[in-house]
Structure 1
Amino acid sequence: MTNFAFAASVAAVRPAGAYLDEMMARVGVDGLTAAFAEPGLLALIDQHAAAVREALRTAGRRPDAAGLAAYARSLAAAAVRSGRPLPEPGAAPASVAGWASAGFPLLRVVAVCLIAVSSNELN
């Protein structure tokens, strides 16, 4: 399944918590593992998380499962439109160096995962 088809099918069918679980499986686990191993990367992810919280607040959304999933869906769609879709399952960077050079959408989705984990919004 292509990333675009994946994003469209998930947005249409899956509830927010399930979508966040999928993002966690696709990029969150690997990204957070790398971030917890490298303080500089964790600081970068924290900055992205602060920006996510601010964007949700500005939009009148809460950083709950629904708000986080909506934000992550928009990131996934934008990544597809820009020609740099999120990695397929099992294809996320495997090293700290790979994550340090990851693009904006990928790091921002990891930040969404960090917020979801820290606020217990995963299924």
Structure 2
Amino acid sequence: MTNEFLAFAPISADATAPILDPATALLDEMMARVGVDGLAAAFADPGLLALVDQHAAAVRDALAEAERPLDGSSLASYVRSIVAGARRSGRYIPAIGEAPTRPSEWLASDWHMLRLVAVCLLAEAEDLL
């Protein structure tokens, strides 16, 4: 049995490399899976950026309503819940290098994909990666 959604810090031969905590490792993985391509597309398209900003506001509101801080642990928990819900609904979570790259593809993507990009936007803005 395989798990396509593993969150772990890469093993490095460099002993001085920082060891990522599980929350940071998960956010880093999400950035690699959807964040880089999604944010690049959003920054190239004002309409898509506005949509991602709306999703980011919804994430902030959800965390505030749950009385959770906007930190790595809370965002990682949020990511886990989005991924679990998407999987239960038969939705696809792309592997690294498989995310859409064009703004039009992102505008046509499922809700969960935009929400994950929004989490990446917040993680980057909060300097959590």
Once residues 71 and 96 of structure 1 are traced to their aligned partners in structure 2, the CA distance between those partners, rounded to angstroms, is 24
Gaps of 5+ in 2: 9-20
Task: Spell out, residue by residue over 1:46-98, the C-alpha distance to the aligned partner (whole angstroms, 9 max, x if none).
Answer: 00000000001111111100000000111111111100121121110021111
- Matched to 2:7, the amino acid is V
Aligned match for 1:110, one of 104, 109, 117: 117
- Matched to 2:124, the amino acid is V
Once residues 87 and 112 of structure 1 are traced to their aligned partners in structure 2, the CA distance between those partners, rounded to angstroms, is 16
Does residue 81 in structure 1 map to residue 72 in structure 2?
no
* Structure 2 equivalent of residue 44 of structure 1: 51
* Structure 1 equivalent of residue 103 of structure 2: 96
Higher relative contact order, chain-length normalized (CA < 8 Å, sep 6+): 1
The answer to whether the 8 A contact 2:59-2:119 is kept is yes
1:6 CA displacement: 3.0
* Structure 2 equivalent of residue 54 of structure 1: 61
Once residues 88 and 107 of structure 2 are traced to their aligned partners in structure 1, the CA distance between those partners, rounded to angstroms, is 23
| Alpha-carbon RMSD | 1.6
More helix by share: 1
Gaps of 5+ in 1: none
